[in-house]
Amino acid sequence: DAKTTQPNSMESNEEEPVHLPCNHSTISGTDYIHWYRQLPSQGPEYVIHGLTSNVNNRMASLAIAEDRKSSTLILHRATLRDAAVYYCILRTGNTPLVFGKGTRLSVIA
């Protein structure tokens, strides 16, 4: 599976936007970019995914670089409930997820 690189941790103030970066320079043409997050003491939770075009849903936006070698998860207004570990994952089809260490997001009130 192709690898992704994320910062270990990031910090944000409450109600401000957060941009979580992910590098995936070895992405293949069939890889989708998935984001999951894991709140404390819970299992991972799907956030968003995309292939080439930017995507929006009620939780977040996903901005994908034109060459697809990087992407950014955007939380438009961080809340305390968004404090979690965010995982960027490349995936083809319905294969098992390959998690890295993710980015631990802290939100400051």
Scanning 17-25, 59-67, 70-78, 93-101 for contacts with other proteins by CB under 8 A, the matching segment is 93-101
User: Is there binding between residue 29 and other proteins (CB under 8 A)?
Assistant: no
How many residues sit in the footprint of other proteins (CB under 8 A)? 21
CB of 37 to other proteins, least distance (A): 11
User: Is there binding between residue 91 and other proteins (CB under 8 A)?
Assistant: yes
Largest alpha-carbon pair distance within the chain?
41
Q: Cα–Cα distance between 78 and 22 in angstroms, integer? A: 18
Contact 20, 10 (CB under 8 A): yes
Scanning 17-25, 36-44, 59-67, 71-79 for contacts with other proteins by CB under 8 A, the matching segment is 36-44
State the CB neighbour count (10 A cutoff) for residue 99.
14
Which is closer to other proteins, CB of 46 or CB of 56? 46
Which is closer to other proteins, CB of 75 or CB of 87? 87
